[in-house]
Amino acid sequence: MTAFDLIKDKIGYNQWANQVLIEWLKQQPEALYEERVISSFSSINKLMHHIMEAEKYYLSILRQQEESYEKHMTTEAIFEEIRRIDQMLISWHDAESAKSMERIISLKRSPFVEKYTAATLITHLLNHSNYHRGQLLALRHQLGMSDAPQIDYYRYFIAQSRMA
């Protein structure tokens, strides 16, 4: 598997993990989405909004297209936007090439200009989302939620192997 193929696989994993998590959350009482938790984000809604905005932000940089952001969204709207972004990530990768992953992207987000390859930014986007999905699953204990899905890469790998 090439690095380009590995990125595609991780984008597929990201989509799968997002979808499994969303489907599980939709089975929970909606009141829990806004219930206050002790964490870096004060609710499931705010954490899911952060995941969505970060994915949208980095994808907009990779696609070199502006995106609009909404400060407050219902959790259902966030779920739908995450699904849309997942599809856009797949489309973005399908339109790219292994060579384009080496493209240098300059960001001025501080007093300095930061330089990254496209591969570095997409890897960061995917790792960032994975980190926060894990954080969300850890929060379920505070909210009394049970039967959390197993969304680690191994479960995705097994699911993909069964479909092959």
Q: How confident is the model at residue 114 (pLDDT cuts 50, 70, 90)?
A: very high
- pLDDT > 90? residue 110: no
- pLDDT > 90? residue 161: no
Q: Where are the alpha helices (DSSP H) in 64-152?
A: 75-95, 118-143
Integer Cα distance of 29 and 128 in angstroms? 26
Record the tokens describing residue 55, joined without a space.
């994915």
In tens, the pLDDT along 40-67 reads 999 999 999 999 999 999 999 999 998 8
Indicate the CATH number for domain 3-163. Answer: 1.20.120.450
Which DSSP symbol is given to 128? Answer: H
Q: How confident is the model at residue 68 (pLDDT cuts 50, 70, 90)?
A: confident
Tell me how far CA of residue 160 lies from CA of 83, 154, 157, in angstroms. 19, 10, 5
- pLDDT > 80? residue 164: no
Q: Are 118 and 103 in contact (CB under 8 A)?
A: yes
